[in-house]
Structures are given as structure tokens and as C-alpha cells.
Amino acid sequence: MSNARPDQRTEARQDTRAEPYVRLERVTRKFGDFVAVDDVSLQIRRGEIFCLLGGSGCGKTTLLRMLAGFEQPTSGSIWIDGVDVTGLPPYERPVNMMFQSYALFPHMTVEQNVAFGLRQDRIPRAEIKERAGAMLELVRMREFAGRKPHQLSGGQRQRVALARSLVKRPKLLLLDEPLAALDKKLRQHTQFELINIQETLGVTFVVVTHDQEEAMTLASRIGVMNHGEIIQVGTPTDIYEYPNSRFVADFIGSVNLFEGRLVEDEPDYVRIASDELGGAFYISHGVSAAPGAVVWVALRPEKIQISREQPEGDGDNRIAGVVAEIAYLGDQSVYLVRLASGRQVRVTQPNIVRQGSAGRITWDEAVWLSWDATSPVVVTQ
């Protein structure tokens, strides 16, 4: 397994193969008056795992189907490996698509399922056997080659479907919610397998998912979609740490969003006064907004410290409150802290010390919340 973080993998890829492999230029797809995909321009690099992430109905499957050629754009163009494929049918594109339901042929064995596409292409029998065998080896299914799909678990069927979609060596593999049928543990395991397989073969993957954790694990880059538009494209770290909007901040992970007003605007810091907070944020990075402008501050729950004692130092980046709720989740605890403004703030703390130990912060206690000046992110839309 690769130990590289997704963003590190991206950097490595960026160095060597920076030219876009897939290019969408102002692609729009309408169904009647309804705009399912709205003026999307996007570049995907060779060898990436690119995740399209968004809520139900945001247009991600439609975008994927246009890449595959099952759907035509109403306007705009699609380029793969420097070729304009906009009008081309699916079978003339260097693309394969793995659908939401894996749709294995029930009457065929695992090996026959994997070999099916090669047989259709009239490839010599010995080569079919070798290539299907190698693919089954890659997805660790060789010992199940003689079984029928109904004799397999969901995860095993998923791996067979993956082998089948890779055996013809597509340059671009499109995966629509590939792990949706798996339970959480198997999903997590399979996510890492998928990364390994992709790295071994160097195929470019475009994965559609509504599961942000899955996108964070798999992707070298993520495109966050809403209402047919791509709202932000970036590495998992970019998207999580530097969301460009309230929508992205709120969609990825959980976040506390505070409305405020820019009261001091210097190149290396800003101060934002917020009635919702009942105080001010001092933030150690500049923002592009006019003084006095209404902005929003996004503060992740894990970046907030909770303590009984008032933090030392001056008055920004801290606020007093009362613990309204505590949820114990095993690895961490979630505190909902009510501020004097009436606003509740979500705080998470890792459970480093075993629960039940004396001295823990509990319900109705008066507490202080504080955070580092580097932690909040300001968004203007």
C-alpha cells in the first residue's frame, strides 16, 4: 500500500505529467428547461483519481455519462488525450465505465465475466486467459475464478466488476459510486485497494461519490458540485482547510460558520467582529473583501480548545459558554457549547484519556473556547 497522502500523490503526478488528460470546456447539459450540468470547465490530469463529489441530483452522474459518451452535452466540448470526443459514441472513446450496480452476468463464472469483453474483441484464447488471470490476481480474486456471482460477497463482486472494467486496459475508467453496496469496514478497506490498483496500472480514474469521506480517502483532487456547477476543485487538503465558500465548508466535514463584519484589514491579518460569536476573530491571513463587508468565518470543531480556565493573553479568539450537550463517540467526544449570544458551537476533542476518569468537563459547566489565529477561514460567499 502506498503511504503517500492523497495530496502528496498529486504533487508527484503534477511534476511529471502536468498536461490535462481530460478537458471539459464550458459543458452544459439540459433536460428540457432543467439545467443538470451548468457551464462546467474542468481539467483532469493523467494518472489522477479525480472525485466528483456532491449531493443527490447535483449533476455528477450526468457529467460522468457525458465523459463516457452515453449522454451528449447541449453545448461545450469534451477532450480526451488531446482529441475532441464530443460527438463520438462510447465505443470510440478510450473509456470504460463501472456502473452503480456492477451488473455481472449471473450465469457466467468470475473468470468468464472478466474475459467477456476480450472474447467479444476476438482476442486469441491464450491471451484472454493470461490477461483475465492477471486481472483476477490484481484484485485478489484468482482463487474464486470458477465461482458464479451469487456465490460471492458484495465486496468480492465489486472486485470482479473492477477487474472486468480494467481488463481491456482503458486509459480512463469512470466509476459511479463504486463502493456504494459495501458496508463501512469493507468500503474503507476497498478504498485503499482501489488506490493501489490505480497506482499499479496508472489508469486515470474519475469517481462519482456523494460520500465526502470516500472522496477524501481516494482522491488526488476533488471537484465539489452543487446545482450542476463545480464550486471548487482542489486536493482533499485544499478543500478541507481552505474552502472557497460556505457551501464547501459546510459540505465537507462539519464546521461552525459565523457571520461577521471585516473591521480591520491588513495584509497579514484581519479582525472580524461577529455578533453571533459575541466577540471578534483575529485571523492571521489576509482576505479579499472590502472593510466593513459581511463575511463568514468557518471554524472546524476539532480546531477549538475547550477548558475551564480562561485562556491567557488578550481578548480575541476566545469566548465563554456553557456546555449544553456532550456526545461520546468512542474515539472522540462532541461538545455543544451555548454562547451568551444564544449561538451553539460544536467542539470535538479526541478521547486521549479513557472515559470515566474524574475531572472531565460535563453538562452545564461554564467553559472557555479558544482557537489559534491560523485556524479560522474567511469566506465571502
Which residues of this chain interact with ligand ATP, rule CB under 6 A? 31, 34, 36, 54, 56-62, 210
Q: How far apart are CA 210 and CA 141, in angstroms?
A: 28
User: Which residues touch 2 (CB under 8 Å, ≥6 apart)?
Assistant: 9, 195, 196, 199
- What's the closest the beta carbon of residue 139 comes to ligand ATP, in angstroms? 25
- What's the closest the beta carbon of residue 178 comes to ligand ATP, in angstroms? 13
- What's the closest the beta carbon of residue 53 comes to ligand ATP, in angstroms? 10
Nearest CB to ligand ATP, comparing residues 32 and 350: 32
Nearest CB to ligand ATP, comparing residues 58 and 132: 58
- What's the closest the beta carbon of residue 23 comes to ligand ATP, in angstroms? 20
Closest residue to ligand ATP in the complex (CB) = 61
Nearest CB to ligand ATP, comparing residues 210 and 343: 210
Nearest CB to ligand ATP, comparing residues 58 and 306: 58
At residue 67, the 3 state secondary structure works out as helix
Contact assessment for residue 165 and residue 114, using Cβ atoms and an 8 Å cutoff? no
Q: How far apart are CA 344 and CA 276, in angstroms?
A: 9
- What's the closest the beta carbon of residue 67 comes to ligand ATP, in angstroms? 12
- What's the closest the beta carbon of residue 35 comes to ligand ATP, in angstroms? 9
Write out the DSSP string of 182-250.
S-HHHHHHHHHHHHHHHHHH--EEEEEES-HHHHHHH-SEEEEEETTEEEEEE-HHHHHHS-SSHHHHH
- What's the closest the beta carbon of residue 66 comes to ligand ATP, in angstroms? 10
Nearest CB to ligand ATP, comparing residues 64 and 379: 64
Contact assessment for residue 162 and residue 198, using Cβ atoms and an 8 Å cutoff? no
Nearest CB to ligand ATP, comparing residues 32 and 292: 32
- What's the closest the beta carbon of residue 238 comes to ligand ATP, in angstroms? 22
As beta bridge partners, residue 371 has 304
Q: How far apart are CA 60 and CA 175, in angstroms?
A: 11
Q: How far apart are CA 272 and CA 282, in angstroms?
A: 7
- What's the closest the beta carbon of residue 171 comes to ligand ATP, in angstroms? 23
Nearest CB to ligand ATP, comparing residues 63 and 85: 63
Q: Cα torsion at 337, 343, 348, 354 (round to 10°)?
A: 10
Write the CA distances from 299 to 128, 184, 296, 303, 347, integer angstroms: 54, 28, 10, 7, 10
Give the strand pairing for 229-234 and 221-226. antiparallel
Q: How far apart are CA 46 and CA 376, in angstroms?
A: 34
Nearest CB to ligand ATP, comparing residues 41 and 307: 41
Nearest CB to ligand ATP, comparing residues 28 and 112: 28
Long-range contacts of 1-5 (CB under 8 A, 24+ apart): 1/192, 1/195, 1/196, 2/195, 2/196, 2/199, 5/237
Contact assessment for residue 222 and residue 244, using Cβ atoms and an 8 Å cutoff? no
